[in-house]
Amino acid sequence: MLSRIAESLFWIGRYVERADGTARILDVHLERLNQMPRGEQREVSRQLLGVMGTRPPAGEFELSDLLHALAYDRTSPTSIAGALGAARENARRARETVSGSVWEGLNTTWYGLTQHRKDVVGTYRFCHWVVERTAMVRGLSDTTMSHDESWQFLVLGRSLERADMTARMLSTHDVHAAGLSWVNMLRCAGAYESFLRTRRASFGDQQAAEFLLLDRLFPRSIVYALGDAEKCLTNLNPAYRRVGFINDASRIVGQARTFLEFHQTTDLMSELPEHMERVQKACARASDAISRTYFSQADELSWVGEVS
């Protein structure tokens, strides 16, 4: 397949997952933020934006600014609207490769972006709607596209972004030192029920963080998502090697996953910030490595002469 198309698919995967993750995080935090006094609200809004990867602007930063920056700002790829717009734009470029229903799903979502009230209550609805729409797009891409190279790129982008998003969800816990309960944290990832059924009585910070970080069976856990990304990378280049690794991206993702998976600790909570930072860094570096291997175009078109 064309490198350009592969790149578009990778980014469709990433952006859709990002919109989903951001909507989940915003939904849960909004509940908390609403109950805070004004001053604290401002401070926490600012920090939350930082965790999501955007530097807050200087000056006053109100809750409504946070909503704009994370939900409705179409110019920023960190916001939900921006991510969905970018996903749709990428799908437009790769329209003959994605299935008709995936394209339609993204296109209709994009047209629906403007149809929401932008106050706090409207944002709850909006987040809910985004979670639904992105789930639909994921479902459609899994059931209507061949699971060939193109789909692998889509899932690769999705898995990396998912690991990254879960890492951010866990990082936001620091922001709310005073408040955000682990129940909400788990709800954020849609993991609450699974967690309860797995862990039953032993319930606490440590177990919840462990679940989101290390669980081998929960699809939104970091270890699981990184494992998915690894599988895609292997499928994309199935050359069998007795020694070593296939490419840089596999090495980066594999190292991060194995470290987490086989790391033994008694004090996960104090290590958590470092884990999160390293996971996010690994995702970013893996993404760069993938671009170099698969998407790199000669920077400029040049005539290479007529010698064969």
Q: Which residues bind other proteins (CB under 8 A)?
A: 1-6, 89, 92-93, 95-97, 100, 103-104, 107-108, 111, 149, 236, 294, 297-298, 301-308
**Smallest distance, other proteins to C-beta of residue 193, A:** 21
**Smallest distance, other proteins to C-beta of residue 300, A:** 9
What is the C-alpha to C-alpha distance for residues 48 and 46, in angstroms, rounded to an integer?
6
Instruction: Please say which residue, 59 or 238, places its beta carbon nearer to other proteins.
Output: 238
What is the C-alpha to C-alpha distance for residues 100 and 141, in angstroms, rounded to an integer?
10
> How many CB atoms are closer than 10 A to CB 32?
19
Inter-residue contact 223 to 257 (CB < 8 Å): yes
Instruction: Please say which residue, 35 or 146, places its beta carbon nearer to other proteins.
Output: 146
**Smallest distance, other proteins to C-beta of residue 13, A:** 15
- Angle of helix 248-262 relative to helix 222-236, nearest 10 degrees, comes to 150
**Smallest distance, other proteins to C-beta of residue 36, A:** 40
What is the C-alpha to C-alpha distance for residues 273 and 271, in angstroms, rounded to an integer?
6
Q: How many residues does the chain have?
A: 308
Instruction: Please say which residue, 112 or 122, places its beta carbon nearer to other proteins.
Output: 112
Backbone φ and ψ for 292, nearest 5 degrees, come out as -65, -40
Instruction: Please say which residue, 49 or 106, places its beta carbon nearer to other proteins.
Output: 106
Instruction: Please say which residue, 4 or 125, places its beta carbon nearer to other proteins.
Output: 4
Instruction: Please say which residue, 96 or 267, places its beta carbon nearer to other proteins.
Output: 96
**Smallest distance, other proteins to C-beta of residue 3, A:** 5
**Smallest distance, other proteins to C-beta of residue 156, A:** 12
Instruction: Please say which residue, 150 or 194, places its beta carbon nearer to other proteins.
Output: 150
Q: What are the contacts of 131-139 at 24+ separation with CB within 8 A?
A: 131/20, 131/23, 131/24, 131/27, 133/84, 133/105, 133/109, 134/16, 134/17, 134/19, 134/20, 134/23, 134/109, 135/20, 136/105, 137/16, 137/87, 137/102, 137/105, 137/106, 137/109, 138/16
**Smallest distance, other proteins to C-beta of residue 75, A:** 16
What is the C-alpha to C-alpha distance for residues 3 and 149, in angstroms, rounded to an integer?
11
